[in-house]
Amino acid sequence: MSDTKKSFLIINRKAPYGSSAARDALDVALTISVFEQPLSLLYMDDAVWQLLPDHQAGAIGQKNLSANLAMLEMYDIDQLYVCRQALNQRGIRPSDIKLNITLLDSQGIAALIKQQDQVLSF
Amino acid sequence: MKFSIVITGAPYSSQASASALQFSRSVLRLGHEIHRVFFYADGVHSGTALAAPPQDETNIPAEWTTLAQEHQLDLVVCIAAAVRRGILDEGEARRYEKSGHNLAPDFTLSGLGQLVEAGIVSDRVVTFGA
């Protein structure tokens, strides 16, 4: 493990199923956490669908992403940021999301990105 | 400046790997360093030795091998993403009892820790997605 600390931001943009992006991003998040680096996750665009509970992924032969999302808490990954506009556009209420999230508008998103050493997009 | 490159798009279906090649050549030409190139998700297909594109198209895996040999680049393919998609080195082919292996020269299979380590030691990580 390195002594150097770098702050990482993972930007999620894709829906929970339909591509491997959501799962790939979570795997990277857990690995960053193992390396004990500061980590934030940002959900934009269709990625906000990842945050809804009660996925029925088995019906399309996929593993349920919710179990991986639950891992975030176990790994103390608690900096979860969500694009307010993405929720509004899709008719999702913040209260529909059972995780502890912070809503950001576009200015807040710009400020969040600016604070980071490394940004990874999925 | 020290760069690392992440490629998540498949070669030929997306421009990710081709753009990353051009970007990497520019980075090196300008005197910067590339700590690692990490192939993830569909990006692992850039690591196949069996790609046979038409002669008037770029052979992307071969271009990466050439660039790696010229500049001693560390080309790392995510092992979990690779074995699911049938990109195997000799050891993995043996482990999964497959009839052949196809990881291109100068690529290595390794874990996601190599991506995170690259982020820790590099000044910039640039992602080329689908």
Q: What is the mean pLDDT of residues B118-129?
A: 97
| CATH number for the domain that contains residue A74 | 3.40.1260.10
Q: Catalytic: B111?
A: no
User: Is residue A2 assigned to a domain?
Assistant: no
Q: Report residue B21 as tokens.
A: 């090649």
Instruction: List the one residue out of A1, A74, A6, A84 whose CA is nearest residue A40.
Output: A6
- Other CB atoms within 10 Å distance of the CB of residue A21: 24
Cα dihedral B119→B125→B128→B130 (10° resolution): 40
Give me the total of CB pairs closer than 8 Å, taking one residue from chain A and one from chain B: 57
User: Is residue A71 assigned to a domain?
Assistant: yes
| Catalytic residue (one of B73, B78, B83, B115) | B78
**Nearest C-alpha in A relative to B122:** A118
Asked if A35 lies within 8 A of B112 by C-beta distance, the reply is: no
Burial-class residue B76 by CB neighbours within 10 Å (0-12, 13-18, 19+).
buried
Q: What is the pLDDT of residue A74?
A: 87
Any idea where the domains of chain B sit in the sequence?
2-128
Residue pair B18/B5 in contact (Cβ under 8 Å)? The answer is no
- Count of domains observed in chain A: 1
Q: What is the mean pLDDT of residues A62-91?
A: 92
**Nearest C-alpha in A relative to B130:** A122
How far does A113 lie from chain B, in Å, by closest CA?
14
Q: Residue B64: which H helix or E strand, with range?
A: helix B60-71
* A28 → closest Cβ in B115, B122, B129: B115
**Which homologous superfamily is B2-128 in?**
DsrEFH-like (3.40.1260.10)
Which of B3, B8, B114 should we substitute to test contact with A (largest number of A Cβ atoms within 10 Å)?
B8
Domain that holds residue A102: 8-121
Asked if A34 lies within 8 A of B80 by C-beta distance, the reply is: no
> A21-64, pLDDT tens digit by residue?
999 999 999 999 999 999 999 999 999 999 999 899 999 999 99
User: Is residue A82 assigned to a domain?
Assistant: yes
User: Is residue A70 assigned to a domain?
Assistant: yes
User: How many helices and strands, by DSSP H and E, does chain B display?
Assistant: 5, 5
Q: Check if the interface score ipTM surpasses 0.90.
A: yes
User: Is residue A87 assigned to a domain?
Assistant: yes
Check whether A93 has a pLDDT greater than 60: yes
Q: What is the pLDDT of residue A4?
A: 77
Instruction: List the one residue out of B106, B127, B39, B104 whose CA is nearest residue B78.
Output: B39
User: Is residue A3 assigned to a domain?
Assistant: no
